[in-house]
Structure 1
Amino acid sequence: MAEEKISNETTSEEVKDTKQESKETGAPKEHAADEKADKKKKGKKDKHEVEIEELSAKLDDMKDKHLRLQAEFDNFRKRTLKEKADLIKSGGETVLVNILPVVDDFERALDSMKEVSDEDAGKQGTMLIYNKFREFLKQNNIKEIEALNQVFDVDLHEAITKIPAPNDELKGKVVDVIQKGYCLNEKVIRFAKVVIGE
């Protein structure tokens, strides 16, 4: 019996040892499985991080496109408002330009009536109509370009010819005005045709 107890003890010890060995040999297997799981998790994390980076890059790109589009629209809006304001300012420009020769004709008629007395009905009627035209031009922001005895300016004057200046002060200046020039809202709608002294 004592022998049976010893053999049972050894067998139980052997079983314990084999269990421990199997645990030890199984531990590396479990540890390897844990490492694989960790690698998979890291791989998933890396994939998620890459996706997050790609999405943030796309988001930044879309924000940039949105800002550019907004700025472009704002510029378009400002440009159209400016064009509309310019159209309103100079909307009747063609009509006003076509009235200028009529004003010129009235001025010629008044020049020819210098010798006629101021009480003459024809002269008074002509003066009345001429003054109404002048007032109409003022109301529509048309101003006459000052030219006589002014320094020649290519932005305002159109030189027809040059003549010797009557005196040294008039050299390079306008000696005579052939046709008056006009501006509409600071924009030249007809250049003054002038003669320059040299």
Structure 2
Amino acid sequence: MTEENIKTEKEEQDSLQNETKVETQTAINNDQEASAENASENQIENEQDQASEESEELSPEKIEIKRLEQELEEKQNRLLRLQADFENYRRRVRLDQEAAMKYRAQSLIENLLPVLDNFERALNIEVKEEETKQLLKGMEMVYRQLQDALKTEGLNVIEAVGKEFDPNYHHAVMQVNDSNYESNVVVEELQKGYILKDRVIRPTMVKVNQ
């Protein structure tokens, strides 16, 4: 093979390689252009869809439906609050009625406490005449009947002497120093105290050991 033939063959190979490169690059460029076109078309479609959705959301029908839904939700919340308020009101009324029934006699009993005090003072008087003794016995019977009637309403005497001083039940008016009692213990009852069921209506007036 002559040198000229070798040169010609080499030129043909170079030309063939160049053509292959050009075709490859052209194909790549075409693919890129196609991808760009697809991306552009997809973007346009997405924008159109979004615009369509926004258009639907802003349509009068959608706005009216949303307004009605919000109004319905507000009315439902208001109804729930009214129901809760009504239940609280019913509970308060029931508790007030129960308390009124439980302590229905409190006002009357409080007015009768001075009567009990006077009965006790009268019964503590020492007498010698037989007629006076008989009178005191009759008064004692009336006093016991009154006590029983009040006890059926839930009235009880507060125990004091020998008990530790409790400000919830006792009202200290004096302090003494008595070795027969421990410190802070009630040594004497000056006026009886009373409790109506579970409510103190008058604390016991007492002397307390130091």
Same fold at TM > 0.5: yes
Q: Which residue of the partner structure matches residue 209 of structure 2? A: 197
1:57 maps to amino acid? Q
Counterpart pick for 2:94 among 81, 106, 116? 81
Mind listing any 5+ residue stretches in structure 2 that lack a counterpart? 1-51
State the shift of 1:115 in Å: 7.2
State the shift of 1:107 in Å: 1.5
1:54-100 Cα distance to aligned partner (Å, 9 max, x none) = 21111111101100011101101110121122122222322211111
Counterpart pick for 2:149 among 136, 141, 144? 136
**Is 2:134 the partner of 1:121?**
yes
**Is 2:110 the partner of 1:101?**
no
**Is 2:98 the partner of 1:50?**
no
CA contact (8 A) 2:56 2:62 kept: no
State the shift of 1:148 in Å: 0.8
2:123 maps to amino acid? L
2:69 maps to amino acid? S
Q: Distance in 2 between matches of 1:76 and 1:83?
A: 10
CA contact (8 A) 1:116 1:123 kept: no
1:2-33 Cα distance to aligned partner (Å, 9 max, x none) = xxxxxxxxxxxxxxxxxxxxxxxxxxxxxxxx
Q: Distance in 2 between matches of 1:114 and 1:190?
A: 31
TM-score by length of 2: 0.67
1:98-144 Cα distance to aligned partner (Å, 9 max, x none) = 11111112222222248788xx4223212211111110110111111
CA contact (8 A) 2:155 2:194 kept: yes
Classify 1:103/1:58 alpha carbon distance in 2 versus 1 (closer, same or farther; 3 Å). same
Q: Distance in 2 between matches of 1:170 and 1:112?
A: 31
| Paired-residue identity, % | 30
**Is 2:156 the partner of 1:156?**
no
1:192 maps to amino acid? T
TM-score by length of 1: 0.71
CA contact (8 A) 2:190 2:207 kept: yes
State the shift of 1:180 in Å: 0.5
Q: Distance in 1 between matches of 2:158 and 2:124?
A: 20
Q: Distance in 2 between matches of 1:152 and 1:114?
A: 35
SS class of match (2:65): helix
CA contact (8 A) 2:57 2:63 kept: no
**Runs of 4+ residues deviating >6 angstroms:** 114-117
The structure whose Rg is larger is 2
Structure 1 segment 15-54 matched on structure 2, within 5 A: 43=56, 46-54=59-67
Q: Distance in 2 between matches of 1:101 and 1:192?
A: 13
Relative CO higher for 1 or 2, CA cutoff 8 Å, sep ≥ 6? Answer: 1
Q: Which stretch of the first structure deviates more once superposed, 99-108 or 85-94?
A: 85-94
| Structure 1 vs Structure 2 CA RMSD | 2.4
CA contact (8 A) 1:113 1:123 kept: no
State the shift of 1:49 in Å: 2.1
**Is 2:195 the partner of 1:183?**
yes
